[in-house]
Structure 1
């Protein structure tokens, strides 16, 4: 019982850390609306954080390592808790009762898989440039714009589906995190649901604004 509570707390804490990163990353992405130079300057600035205390780009690698640890911890905790829940009810119902819960809650598992696949693609596409049409030796703004041109519609489609999956995952995940960290009152429950919904919608809108801006020519 105690280990299950610890795993739920681990899921909540790592989830909130990842949400914080997603918002910081989204704010950085929005710099492209101030022009390619502003976006590229921001991307290069990230590699100079903590210099000269740390060597060039070390802060980014430390942050990446921390994110990997958080993601792995989140997935491991979720997997163990899911298996324990199944073992607690080993006999399947002949007629399964209707599960009460939101669409987001019922799609957390496949949503998580889509997000993991998207993160892998995203790194190979925009971080290393391996899968990017413009290549890895170009400026960050060039790679972003190359990705979301009309002829790259399948990339935009995958991006949109992935970000929507993040939104659903985030909505239910935030609400669950609030409950795990102590929110149990009815009024607080309504507030937690509202906050989770607003944060999810803002995040999805922020991320999707970039590809749609490129597609419509607002950013070129």
Structure 2
């Protein structure tokens, strides 16, 4: 009996354990996405409001903590959550393929599957590529020819004034919305939480994020923010 106990697989090695990791890392990322969107709403209050918010992010925690320590803690947490989410998603995909080596046997089965669930892999890839571009565009600057370090309001305006870039942001956030919708809905099942309103929650959460994020490039393109 002790030998059998010694060979018991860890929770993470099971599909259920991996779904827990997907759900928990997903909740961390959802909280960040919401906070990030709400913070960026300060663009509607002018350059001073957005720039002050940007500086505050680097100073939050002072004087108890050195400058930017809390910001870097958040960044490291997010990096860990993203890594765990991607790795676990890949492992779950492999488990599902081994469990069902054949594709859908009929068109009816394929159509019946939820569109968001069927496109999770592709929307996830789009979001990852978009995050990389977003960092190069508004955080580090190589993708923005008019980038000015320390001037986030200027960088946002000059970036979104480029129509192709604005379109990229809009399309990417639509993909993010689809990804969030299915992720927000399925995490309840993964965590074993039975809630009758989980689909409504997923719809509202994804809708708020998409509307907020898409509003930024549109506001710049139409001159609402300049």
Q: 1:92-131 to 2 correspondence within 5 Å?
A: 92=103, 98-99=109-110, 100-131=112-143
Q: Distance in 1 between matches of 2:181 and 2:102?
A: 31
The CA RMSD over aligned residues, in Å, is 1.6
Q: 1:53-92 to 2 correspondence within 5 Å?
A: 53-92=64-103
**Cα distance 1:89–1:35, how it changes in 2: closer, same or farther (>3 A)?**
same
1:203 to 205, 209, 221: 209
Residue aligning to 1:217 = 223
Contact 2:163–2:221, Cα closer than 8 Å, also in 1: no
Residue aligning to 1:158 = 168
Q: How many residues align?
A: 214
Residue 103 of structure 1, CA deviation: 1.4
Q: Distance in 2 between matches of 1:154 and 1:31?
A: 24
Residue 43 of structure 1, CA deviation: 0.5
Q: Distance in 2 between matches of 1:85 and 1:77?
A: 12
**Cα distance 1:215–1:101, how it changes in 2: closer, same or farther (>3 A)?**
same
Residue 59 of structure 1, CA deviation: 1.6
2:35 to 9, 24, 28: 24
Q: Distance in 1 between matches of 2:103 and 2:127?
A: 29
Q: Distance in 2 between matches of 1:55 and 1:138?
A: 19
Contact 2:148–2:154, Cα closer than 8 Å, also in 1: no
In the alignment, structure 1 residue 144 sits paired with structure 2 residue 150: no
Contact 1:133–1:143, Cα closer than 8 Å, also in 2: no
Q: Distance in 1 between matches of 2:218 and 2:67?
A: 33
* Secondary structure of 2:199 counterpart: helix
In the alignment, structure 1 residue 170 sits paired with structure 2 residue 180: yes
Quick check: 170-179 or 86-95, which moved more? 86-95
Q: 1:41-52 to 2 correspondence within 5 Å?
A: 41-52=52-63
Contact 2:116–2:178, Cα closer than 8 Å, also in 1: yes
When normalised by structure 2's length, the TM-score is 0.89
Larger radius of gyration: 2
* Secondary structure of 2:109 counterpart: coil
Q: Distance in 2 between matches of 1:178 and 1:95?
A: 29
When normalised by structure 1's length, the TM-score is 0.92
Contact 1:104–1:172, Cα closer than 8 Å, also in 2: yes
Q: Which runs of 5+ in 1 are unaligned?
A: none
